[in-house]
Amino acid sequence: MDWELARTSFWPMVSGSVVGTIPLSLASFAIGLALALVVALLRISGQPVLAGIARFYVSVIRGTPLLVQLFVIFYGLPSIGLTIDPWPSAIIAFSLNVGGYAAEILRAAILSVPKGQWEACHTIGMSRAVALRRVILPQAARVSVPPLSNTFISLVKDTSLASVILVTELFREAQQIAAFSQEFMLVYVEAAAIYWVICLVLSSGQSALEKRLDRYVAH
Amino acid sequence: MSPTDPLRPHTSEGPLLEVTALQKSFGTNRVLSSIDLHIDSGQVVALVGPSGSGKTTVLRCLNGLETPDGGTVAFRGGPSVDFGARVTKKEALALRDRSAMVFQNYNLFPHRTVLENIIEGPVQVQKRPRKDAVADAERLLERVGLAAKRDDYPFNLSGGQQQRVGIVRALALQPDLLLFDEPTSALDPELVGEVLTVIKELAEEKWTMVIVTHELAFAREVADEVVFMDGGVVVEHGHPDQVLRNPREERTRRFVQRLLNPF
């Protein structure tokens, strides 16, 4: 085992995580979640046209490979005169992707809040918007943390696909080191280990968040 | 307490609410045929009847949780809403704001403490200063014996305690009319008394209330008027002693008998 290579390749990969994988994941998840909330609300809005648009979006995102979505945005759009740099392309693709999956999670979570909660909001004079913000979404949040954590963890790993559109992140660093050193096994296992550690941190964050949101539920 | 105490009912004489020819169907199922109700300020009306008789639907129509298909609901001082015509959103909300509902399953907000549940409406909706709302909430909690529970979450409370919080949450809105939808039906028998005691005290303070209930003994003791409904119509109404002891109508007699001698 080439410990020297393991050591010298470690820092470029960690740096690829810090400047690539992690900010790409955070930005895409934040934008995707905001998008998902809008789409989920459209789907339960009772407006047939808006709900139809939302359903179509979810269907396209879930029905096509993420890699293909990434290629359409980065390699496809320039042929119709729309060229987007690697970083924004990646953020757009990942956000749209997260938005499609998380929309379904949020919709289910909102619908899981008992109807009596809406009625209580109504009787104390709240509008639907205030009821959503103050009562329904906080309760839906509790239900949606486990599935949203899944989505987030998947996203962190999926950002490795950004390497194919030339974004400098963990896996692209690994590929370059591997190509140079020809130590494929060592370098890629090392990359896998770093992804795993990032996901372990996220999992413990999930547990802490679940615990916090469970404080008002009987055990 | 002073006569302007916000936690006391806005007492005045005369009619408060007039309901005329109220109708409601769910699909082809006609739940309310033509309901007339007259409620005076300070009056306690008990709505009784078999399940499916439409009594809960009447209550829900008054609070805007259901939209009637026809008929009018008119409060003294407005609004007067004719559901046979087009009802504006503003009218519907004005109607909703005159009353407050106490639910069978309490429907407290589980993610908020007792105090937060109570001040949510006054602060978020009525835009009252938080300090005042908290002071009122604390006095109301004191009155129903739950001052010590102000910072607990609903899941830590018994059903009877949760329902008392539900009542306080409705009172804190300072409505003109309190609506109770089978307030003790979800409770263990030994917890019913504590809730009925609170409602009885409110009656003595002259809150105007409509109570849907199966507790006939309680209705007889607290109500000024009993309205017996069956099949979407008011079969009989009048003084509790008359309706519940000497019913004029055969249907009322059968219902009262069944509740008194279930076996």
Q: What is the pLDDT of residues B117-132, one digit of tens each?
A: 999 999 999 999 999 9
Q: What is the pLDDT of residue A199?
A: 96
Domain extent for A20: 3-215
Q: Which residues of chain B have pLDDT under 50?
A: 1-4
Q: What is the pLDDT of residue B237?
A: 96
Q: For position A167, which CATH number holds?
A: 1.10.3720.10
Q: Please, which pLDDT band fits residue A219 given cuts at 50, 70 and 90? A: low
Q: What is the pLDDT of residue B5?
A: 64
Q: What is the pLDDT of residue B3?
A: 41
pLDDT over 80 at A218, yes or no: no
Crossing angle of helices A137-158/A86-112, nearest 10°?
150
Nearest chain B CA: its distance from A37 CA (Å): 20
Q: What is the pLDDT of residue B1?
A: 42
Q: B124–A126: do the CB atoms touch at under 8 Å?
A: yes
Q: Residue B125 is nearest to which of A125, A139, A218, comparing CB atoms? A: A125
For residues A123 and B224, what is the distance between their CA atoms, to the nearest angstrom? 25
Q: How many domains does chain A have?
A: 1
Residue B140, H or E segment: helix B130-143
Q: What does the pLDDT look like over A118-159, one tens digit per residue?
A: 999 999 999 999 999 999 999 999 999 999 999 999 999 999
Q: Give this prediction's pTM.
A: 0.89
Cβ–Cβ contact A45 with B under 8 A:
no
Domains (range + CATH), chain B: 15-98+177-260 (3.40.50.300), 106-174 (no CATH)
Nearest chain A CA: its distance from B105 CA (Å): 8
Cβ–Cβ contact A142 with B under 8 A:
yes
**What pairing do the DSSP bridges indicate for beta strands B233-238 and B80-82?**
unpaired
What percentage of chain A carries pLDDT values higher than 90? 91
Q: What is the pLDDT of residue B199?
A: 96
pLDDT over 70 at A211, yes or no: yes
Q: What is the pLDDT of residue A217?
A: 81
Q: B107–A120: do the CB atoms touch at under 8 Å?
A: yes
Q: What is the pLDDT of residue A206?
A: 96
Cβ–Cβ contact A116 with B under 8 A:
yes
Burial of B57 (0-12, 13-18, 19+ CB in 10 A): buried
On chain A, the residues whose CB falls within 8 A of the CB of B100 are 123-124
B193 close to B221: Cβ distance less than 8 angstroms: no
On chain B, the residues whose CB falls within 8 A of the CB of A112 are none
Q: What does the pLDDT look like over A109-126, one tens digit per residue?
A: 999 999 999 999 999 999
For residues B210 and A150, what is the distance between their CA atoms, to the nearest angstrom? 49
